[in-house]
Amino acid sequence: MKKEKSMYVCKECGYKSIKWMGKCPNCGEWGSLEEEVEVTVANKKIPKGSLSFQEIDEKLVSFDEIKMEENFRYKTKVKEFDRLLGGGLVQGEVILLTGNPGIGKSTLLLQMANEYTEYGDIIYISGEESLSQIKSRGDRLGIKNKNLYLMSETNVDKIYEYISERKPKVVIIDSIQTLYSETSDSIAGTPTQIREATLKIVDVAKKNNICFFIVGHITKDGKVAGPKMLEHMVDAVFTFEGEEGLFYRILRSEKNRFGSTNELAIFSMEEDGLREIQNSSEYFISERNEKNIGSMIVPVLEGTKVFLLEIQTLITEGNPIGIPKRVVQGFDKNRIQILMAIGEKRMGINLGTKDVFVNIPGGISIKDPAADLGALISLMSVYKNVEISQKIAAIGELGLRGEIRKVFFIDKRLRELEKLGFKGVYIPEANRKEVEKKDYKLKLIYLKNLDEFLERI
């Protein structure tokens, strides 16, 4: 017997309640509870003893006997995109792409759809734009391709049937919020509908080994609009970001079943579509003088790739009786507070009521602790008004005693600096053994602690 039960589910934290409330008692968010209809099948019993010994034997496979399946990956000419996917698109993979309106999601996916036609038929399904609108975007991108099919459809049940029948290699859904299923009463875009539609897409993808890219809109505070579990239902979640007025776009992998997370790739939005930027370090650290005050280059690891970033610091007088400002962009604010405390104790940097501004240009946010030393040198340079050569970089995590701790992937970081013509780099003494015998075109300056650094400048 089927029973329908109405529940209110918080779209922020997933909290369930039988009655509607203005504020979620679990996460405290206002207006986040939305109605969902749960269908439960009551009194359904699983018959005992229905499995034969033979069936059980087939279910249990010895660890040693399991053979690894080679994942076949679809590749494109856009190397950075393939790298983000972990080396290409895996058959049956479902990827959610989110980002602000106008950032370039439809452009990116139309370009990629065109690339994947090398493997067979690709279908681009849009509920957002008319076929002629998509065609005119395609013309602008220089696309001419008879294996690329467009379809204007919002009924997910029809899409399900059509895709199961036609079996294309890759399908683009633009966007999940426009889809609706006849099996649910609510309107398109509600959490119930988004969940229904995603379930159906994941099902058709896995049953037929078809890849899907799903566009998902985000709310004002940057979260995927729809139920929280949307992100759990798909194999990968990519976000597309960029600052208004800038041509650069950052594609990031937030979740990645067949690759690594926090991987990022940079694109530029041109007149004729998106172009990958392979040498992204040049993008982040261009236009610089020989020597600078308050600026230091750090090689940081994002996912599996090293990026060279510039940490900039500015100190101003501030209000002597007010609370000093600590404005931090692109770096963890708490981390900067800790570094300022270390700077005060170990380097005599007395900031008092002064205002401090820390910025990483390029719209990127870093978490890599190896940037600690560079951030502190940048701060010290403004405070003591000393110029720093921009041909020297810094790598090292800092401890509270002022000790410089070992970092991971040191070789990768040094190779990137070498490639971009750096002359030297401060690195932790603790990394010496790993790199000493290798041949770098860089002067390696080993440091145990901040005292050793101060002796050198």
* Closer of 138 and 294 to ligand TYD (Cβ): 138
How many Å is the Cα radius of gyration of the chain? 27
Count of residues near Mg ion by CB under 5 A: 1
What residues numbered 249-278 form the site for ligand TYD, per CB under 6 A?
269, 271-273
Among 401, 431, 336, 326, which Cα is nearest to 374's? 336
Contact pattern from residue 136 through residue 165 relative to ligand TYD, giving x for each residue in contact according to CB under 6 A and a dash for the rest: -x--xx------------------------
Q: What are phi and psi of 103, to 5 degrees?
A: -75, -25
Count CB-CB contacts under 10 A for residue 51.
10
- The answer to whether 11 touches 27, Cβ cutoff 8 Å, is no
Q: Is 245 in the site for ligand TYD (CB under 6 A)?
A: no
Instruction: Using CB positions, name the residue nearest to Mg ion.
Output: 106
Member of 32, 76, 106, 114 binding Mg ion (CB under 5 A): 106
Antiparallel, parallel or unpaired: β 264-270 and 248-256? antiparallel
* Closer of 106 and 313 to Mg ion (Cβ): 106
315 token code pair: 């100190």
* Closer of 145 and 353 to ligand TYD (Cβ): 145
Among 358, 321, 361, which Cα is nearest to 337's? 358
Q: Is 107 in the site for ligand TYD (CB under 6 A)?
A: yes
Member of 22, 47, 49, 101 binding ligand TYD (CB under 6 A): 101
Least CB distance to Mg ion at residue 214 (A): 12
Least CB distance to ligand TYD at residue 112 (A): 12
Residues in the chain: 457
* Closer of 141 and 444 to ligand TYD (Cβ): 141
Cα torsion 32, 244, 231, 113: sign: positive
Q: Is 106 in the site for ligand TYD (CB under 6 A)?
A: yes
Member of 12, 84, 86, 105 binding ligand TYD (CB under 6 A): 105
Q: Is 102 in the site for ligand TYD (CB under 6 A)?
A: yes
- The partner in contact with residue 99, picked from ligand TYD, Mg ion, none with C-beta cut-offs of 5 to 8 angstroms by kind, is ligand TYD
131 token code pair: 């076929």
Fill in the amino acid letter for 204.
V
Report which DSSP code applies to 70: P
Count of residues near ligand TYD by CB under 6 A: 15
Cβ-proximal residues to 167 (8 Å cutoff; 6+ apart), any chain? 208, 210
Residue 109, class by beta-carbon neighbours within 10 Å (0-12 exposed, 13-18 middle, 19+ buried)?
Answer: buried
Q: Is 294 in the site for ligand TYD (CB under 6 A)?
A: no
* Closer of 106 and 177 to Mg ion (Cβ): 106
CA 58 – CA 311 distance, rounded (Å): 58
Least CB distance to ligand TYD at residue 240 (A): 7
Q: Residues interacting with Mg ion, by CB under 5 A?
A: 106
Please report, as ranges, the residues that interact with ligand TYD according to CB under 6 A. Answer: 99, 101-107, 137, 140-141, 269, 271-273
